[in-house]
Each structure stands twice: as C-alpha cells, then as structure tokens.
Structure 1
Amino acid sequence: MASFSRFRALAAVAPATAMAMMSAAGCAPSPAGEPPCFPPPYSVRPSEARPGDSVTVQAQDAGCNPRYGGNARIQISVTDSSGAKVINATSAMNDGGGFTYTFVVPARTTKGQAAVTAVPYSIDWCDDTGRNNRVAGAAVVLLQRASCVLPVKPLTIRR
C-alpha cells in the first residue's frame, strides 16, 4: 500500500513539475514578456579562400531584441582541417547582434574544410545556465539547462 501511495504522489507531482520546467526553459519569454532571442545567423564570404586572402564574417541585427549592450563583442574562431585554431579574435558587435569582421587567412592554415564560429563574447548567449546575462537588473528568472548547438559555418581552404 505504501508504494501505491508513493506512486500516486509522484503521479500528482510530475505534471506540475513538467509544466514548471517547460515555463522555466531557455525558450520561455524574457522577463519583459518578449520572445526568446538568440544571436542572429552569420555568413562567411567568400566560402573558399587561400592563405593570404581576406574573409569576412558578418551578421545583420537580430529580428528580436537581444540587448547585448553598447560594449558588446563577438568572438570569432577559425579551426582548420587539422584541428588547429588559426583565428581566435573578438570584435565589436552592436546591441542588436550585428557585426562585420574581416581577417586574412594565415599562411599556416591547412588546406581542406575549416570551421568558422561566431558567438557573443563573455555572455551566456544561450541562456542555459540559470542566468540571463543579457538583461541587467531584470527580475530573477530560473532557466532549465538546455542544449545549445555551437553555430559553425564552413570555409574551404585551397592552396
């Protein structure tokens, strides 16, 4: 009888817990009632380059309000086909997530498929750690840890 009572208690708590978890998830509206806002998609141009060529990584402002602030930075990394990180830099990003960063492909870059990443620097852009670092002074919002996939764009290195 005790195990049946424990099962009934768990069955009664489970739906309420699931509802609380869904509403507290990283996809819940912000404290201001705005929808969630992830970094805007970025592009890499050209998609093929040789060492010594210039490559531009760029994003337009997000279609939502990410509130990155006036001193926001974007972290750009390029990892070549051998797994070596050949670019690891930060650059200015505006409050809406827009940025333009141009780099010269280093001579040491291995030919083949390189991976370019661009994510907001030194902030929790995914909101998966229980804090929203983008909205200073907002009411405390508990967030459920979520999986965030690191955005990666290809860059083919030719010789």
Structure 2
Amino acid sequence: MTVSAADASCDPRYGEGAQIQVEVMDGSGIKIVDELAPMNDAGGFSVQVEIPASAVPGPGMVSAYPYNMDWCDDTGKNNRVGAVGAQDITLVSCVMPTKPLQIEP
C-alpha cells in the first residue's frame, strides 16, 4: 500500500535529509509496520509499505510523523525557529496523527 502526503502550505522547513516515520497497526492493535522514508523540506512524501500476511484482520490504523524531531510544539516555545516570530506561532494538537485502515483477511 502507498502512504503519502502533499507538501504543507505552512513552510515547515524540515531540512535536507528529513525522514517520515510510518507505522501500521493491525486489527489487534499490534504494530506490524515501522518504516522510515525520505520526506522533503515541505513535508511531502510517498512510501510503499507491505502489509504482512500475518496481520490480524479488522480495523487498524496508519500513522506518519516526522522522524527524530519535535513535531508537536506543546511547550509554548517555538523550538525550531527561535525567538524571532515566536509570538506568532499557533500551538498544534499533540494527538498522534492517524488514519483508519481496514485490514481484510
């Protein structure tokens, strides 16, 4: 299956060499895929992942988030840009971003 996202419109500046971490949980809630893939500076990516034959059928989920960086600024302090413009930053939800996935037998 392909997991992908378009570039963000907010200029996130992930930088050269940025990666996305993709995780897939099966119908039992067990993580069956944990993969890193390239992500561009604006957050766009596309990665092919293989669902193992041993995956438990049922409602699972897919999660994808920037690898090895504080993608959730819940500190009240902009830890990526510094003090310049920090007062204009809107804090985001720190709930893990997920999408439902129905795994068929």
State if a TM-score over 0.5 links the two structures.
yes
Unaligned runs of 5+ in 2: none
Aligned with 1:104: secondary structure? coil
Q: Is the Cα–Cα contact under 8 Å of residues 68 and 134 in structure 1 kept in the other structure?
A: no
Aligned-residue CA RMSD in angstroms?
A: 2.2
Aligned with 1:97: secondary structure? coil
List per-residue Cα deviations over 1:1-55 (Å, max 9, x = no partner). xxxxxxxxxxxxxxxxxxxxxxxxxxxxxxxxxxxxxxxxxxxxxxxxxxxxxx1
Q: Is the Cα–Cα contact under 8 Å of residues 58 and 99 in structure 1 kept in the other structure?
A: yes
The structure with the greater share of residues assigned to strand is 2
| 1:66 corresponds to | 12
| 2:75 corresponds to | 129
Unaligned runs of 5+ in 1: 1-54
Offset at 1:131? Answer: 5.0
How far apart in 2 are the matches of 1:146 and 1:70?
Answer: 23
The structure with the greater share of residues assigned to helix is 1
Q: Quick check: 1:98 aligned with 2:37?
A: no
How far apart in 1 are the matches of 2:15 and 2:6?
Answer: 16
- 1:98 maps to amino acid: G
Please identify the structure whose Cα radius of gyration is greater: 1
Offset at 1:154? Answer: 1.1
- The count of aligned residue pairs is 103
- 2:68 maps to amino acid: S
